[in-house]
Amino acid sequence: MALPRRKQNFMEGAAVLTLAVAATKVIGAVYKIPLGNLLDKDGMAHFYVAYNIYSLLLIVSTAGLPLALSRLVSRAEAMGRVNQRKRIFRVTAGVFFLLGVVCCGVMLLFAGPLAELLNDGQAAPAIRVLAPAVLCVCMLSAIRGYTQGRGDMRPTAVSQIIESTGKLLVGLTAAWLLTRRAAAPNMCAAGAISGVTAGAAVSLLVLAVWLLRSHGGQKSADIPDSRREILRQVLEIGIPVTLGSVGMSLITLLDQALVLGTLQSSLGLSEAAATSLYGEYTFGMTLFALPASFMYPLSISLVPSIGAAMAAGREEAAAKNAASALKLAMVLALPVGVGMSVLAGPILQLLYPAVPQTAQAAAFHLRILGLASVFVCLMIATAGILQAYGKERIPVVTLLIGGGVKIAANYLLVTDPAISIHGAPIGTLLCYAIIAGLNLAAIAGTIPGRLRLGGAAGKLLASTGAMAATAWCGYGFLSRHMGAGAATLLAILAAAVVYIVLVLALEVLRREEILQLPKGEKLAKFLYKS
């Protein structure tokens, strides 16, 4: 029997996904931070080599097709075409399965050559362990796209949390057991990454059971389109999105291979020594990725309102929404990114007490990557705005330009013995700063009239500067009177309070901008009560 289903409105769906992202990122931090303490820099380098290959193949197989599936299912649902909706799912699920099998086979059969191609032959076991996860996530994406198209974000949210929890429990347990048995670093990395496969498999099982219970029930007399026509529509929508999404993952993979290869060929380091240096860089990358993950739900909440305003011919309203999106992105990104940069050393020492030397070495990377994360968030917000204005190709072009700069900068900097691995985060900063700058320039030329930020940029910079000074001075003072861990936490708390008070006092966000957020009405009443 089909389960009853309540269709959510847009803001409810965005709120559900935002909470799911928050939960999965907390679980992910609980997974990766202890993992760093267990594996240290060598094991983490093998882990990330395998994971970056997995990420690229995953984007190739799942980036655009879920969006296409969701859009087509939503259209069929609105027209009451039940048979059309079911056929769309069956056709797309078949494509997902085929892509998953191919990508899984590539990782299983060519794990050794792929690892050698990225100048880390020891990563092959981790690549093989991760291969089945591609197939599982492909099928997960099919079901998630289907449920999102029907207006229900709950299955996606629940499955994401299940997937992250499975990854945490299995991955950490396997890594701990292998470390206790003094296994080689590459085998410990393979054990740790087995959690990704286990989490995806459990999540797929749960969603498959849900699908079997909810997919049937409704009957309709509509005649669905041919499978060929449905496949054409899916590919027409999905391929451009996939091409845009795969760019950065491909650049990251090429960058990784270039850094490891350059350390060996130009600086004469052994594979083990190069892997060890790259492992230090990955400790900074773990925290660097956190702020950006919260930008996507924010973009989901705000950007569609730009498209709706443009469709209704309300260009002024669309421009106002674009300004709101940029301000909200920066309000969230600046304190986190600058805070990580200012307190890079203390934060890493707090999170990785078992490997203090690696944490100390990674501090330089996080100082640069913290600033880079601000530009990543700005890139996500600006790309979403350009897409809402129908300029989908611009973010793809700017992404490729920035990626080219990243590769060139890394090649020039990493080959310098005085800079070495420290050139990698500098290349990352340059890459995202250029992408964000080009996107902003494109927005300035796209939006009719001037993008009115109401002086928010200056106010935000002032608030962020005060926050950074509070964090730096606070830690310097407190660390003389208490332990470094407690001093770090209190300095972060004090800096956060200063930032929030200044943002509210300077009225960086208007009441109507806060109302656009999930639960924004309650938040606005609390902040602006007389």
Is 106 inside a domain boundary? yes
Residue 24: Cβ within 10 Å count:
20
Lowest mean pLDDT, pick from 221-235, 363-377, 441-455: 441-455
Which residues, other chains included, contact 37 with Cβ-Cβ below 8 Å and sequence gap of 6+? 352, 353, 354, 355
* H or E element at residue 119: none
Q: How does pLDDT run across 309-347, given as a tens digit for each residue?
A: 666 677 777 777 777 778 888 888 999 999 999 999 999
Between the two ends of the chain, the Cα-to-Cα distance in Å is 52
**Percent of the chain surpassing pLDDT 70:** 82
Is 231 inside a domain boundary? yes
Q: Containing domain of residue 82, as a range?
A: 1-241
Is 17 inside a domain boundary? yes
Q: What is the mean pLDDT of residues 187-207?
A: 91
pTM: 0.74
- The distance of Cα 424 from the centroid of its chain, to the nearest Å, equals 19
Is 44 inside a domain boundary? yes
Lowest mean pLDDT, pick from 230-239, 438-447, 478-487, 504-513: 504-513
3-state secondary structure of 442: helix
Asked whether the predicted pLDDT for residue 472 surpasses 70, the reply is: yes
pLDDT of residue 349: 93
3-state secondary structure of 416: coil
Tokens 């208007």 — which residue?
A: 510
DSSP 369-409: HHHHHHHHHHHHHHHHHHHHTT-THHHHHHHHHHHHHHHHH
pLDDT: is 491 or 68 the higher one?
491
Torsion-angle region of 313 (φ positive above 0: left; ψ -120 to 50: alpha; else: beta): left
Asked whether the predicted pLDDT for residue 6 surpasses 50, the reply is: no
The span from the CA of 136 to the CA of 206, in Å, is 12
pLDDT: is 363 or 244 the higher one?
363
Query: In this structure, are residues 448 and 460 in contact, taking their beta carbons and an 8 Å threshold?
Result: no
Is 408 inside a domain boundary? no
Q: If you compute the radius of gyration of the chain from its CA atoms, what whole number of angstroms results?
A: 24
Token code pair at residue 71: 């859009």
Token code pair at residue 105: 């086979």
Asked whether the predicted pLDDT for residue 1 surpasses 70, the reply is: no
Residue 163 pLDDT level (bands cut at 50, 70, 90): confident
What are the CA-CA distances from residue 171 to residues 15, 105, 164, 208, 286 (Å)? Answer: 29, 22, 10, 23, 16
Q: How does pLDDT run across 391-406, given as a tens digit for each residue?
A: 777 888 898 899 889 8
Q: What is the mean pLDDT of residues 151-163?
A: 79
The span from the CA of 499 to the CA of 327, in Å, is 15
Which residues, other chains included, contact 126 with Cβ-Cβ below 8 Å and sequence gap of 6+? 46, 47, 49, 50, 51, 186, 189, 190, 193
Lowest mean pLDDT, pick from 46-60, 307-321, 409-423: 307-321
Q: Which amino acid is at 98?
A: L
Q: Could you give the maximum distance between any two Cα atoms of the chain, in Å?
A: 76
The span from the CA of 424 to the CA of 288, in Å, is 13
Asked whether the predicted pLDDT for residue 493 surpasses 80, the reply is: yes
Would you say the C-alpha torsion 394, 250, 304, 236 has a positive or negative sign? positive
pLDDT of residue 454: 58
Average pLDDT value over all residues in the chain: 82
Is 498 inside a domain boundary? no
Q: Could you give the count of Cα atoms lying within 13 Å of 282 in the half-sphere of its Cβ?
A: 29
Q: What is the mean pLDDT of residues 349-370?
A: 92
Query: In this structure, are residues 359 and 284 in contact, taking their beta carbons and an 8 Å threshold?
Result: no
The span from the CA of 267 to the CA of 148, in Å, is 50
The span from the CA of 207 to the CA of 143, in Å, is 7
Query: In this structure, are residues 271 and 119 in contact, taking their beta carbons and an 8 Å threshold?
Result: yes
pLDDT of residue 448: 61
* H or E element at residue 29: helix 10-62
Number of domains in the chain: 1
The span from the CA of 348 to the CA of 350, in Å, is 5
Token code pair at residue 184: 């080689």
Is 378 inside a domain boundary? no
Burial class of residue 455 (count of CB atoms within 10 Å of its CB; 0-12, 13-18, 19+): exposed
Lowest mean pLDDT, pick from 103-117, 136-150, 216-230, 511-525: 511-525
pLDDT of residue 156: 76
Is 508 inside a domain boundary? no
Residue 11 pLDDT level (bands cut at 50, 70, 90): very low
Asked whether the predicted pLDDT for residue 245 surpasses 80, the reply is: no
pLDDT of residue 474: 95
Q: Cα-Cα-Cα-Cα dihedral of 279, 57, 109, 123, to 10°?
A: 0
- The distance of Cα 58 from the centroid of its chain, to the nearest Å, equals 13
pLDDT of residue 9: 42
Query: In this structure, are residues 187 and 46 in contact, taking their beta carbons and an 8 Å threshold?
Result: no
Token code pair at residue 173: 């347990």
Burial class of residue 445 (count of CB atoms within 10 Å of its CB; 0-12, 13-18, 19+): exposed
